[in-house]
């Protein structure tokens, strides 16, 4: 947070812990991500609560980043698997097509031989 976003003030009580008379930060509510009630535009937080709040936010962000990295890794693995599966499927389809063409060719040859036998008989 920058100096423009927070300012030091003397307060009567902290928004989170209620501690009286300590030096605190006056924080616009939008920075707190709507943790305070909607009717409060800004809140005053003592240094200890601010540090704890920042640690919690940092921890939450790091957890989200790790989850995102895990999901990206999973997506990459799935994409590789799909590509490999698609290649295998394409290979098997080509092999089946070749086998079918061979069967049709052999069948046509047999038909020709049969028709020649019938003509000669």
| 1 assigned to some structural domain | no
Percentage of residues of the chain with pLDDT beyond 90:
18
pLDDT reading at 121 higher than 70? no
- Residue 2 belongs to some domain of the structure: no
pTM of the predicted protein model: 0.46
**Mean pLDDT of all residues belonging to the chain:** 77
In whole angstroms, give the CA distance from residue 17 to residue 108: 90
Q: What is the pLDDT of residue 100?
A: 92
Give me 98's structure tokens.
Answer: 């070749």
Range of the domain at 13: 7-120
- Annotate 91-102 with three-state secondary structure: HHHHHHHHHHHH
Q: Looking at the predicted structure, is the pLDDT value of residue 41 above 80?
A: no
CA-CA distances (angstroms) from residue 78 to 49, 75, 85, 90? 43, 5, 10, 18
Domain count, the chain: 1
| Bigger pLDDT: 100 vs 43 | 100
């Amino acid at each position: 947070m920058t100096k423009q976003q927070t300012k030091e003030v003397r307060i009567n009580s902290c928004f989170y812990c209620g501690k009286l008379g300590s030096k605190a930060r006056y924080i616009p509510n939008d920075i707190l991500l709507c943790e305070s009630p909607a009717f409060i535009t800004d809140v005053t937080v003592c240094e200890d609560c601010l540090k704890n709040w920042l640690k919690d936010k940092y921890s939450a962000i790091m957890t989200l980043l790790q989850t995102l990295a895990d999901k990206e890794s999973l997506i990459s693995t799935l994409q590789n698997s799909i590509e490999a599966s698609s290649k295998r499927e394409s290979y098997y389809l080509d092999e089946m097509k070749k086998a079918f063409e061979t069967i049709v060719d052999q069948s046509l040859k047999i038909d020709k031989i049969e028709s020649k036998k019938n003509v000669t008989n």
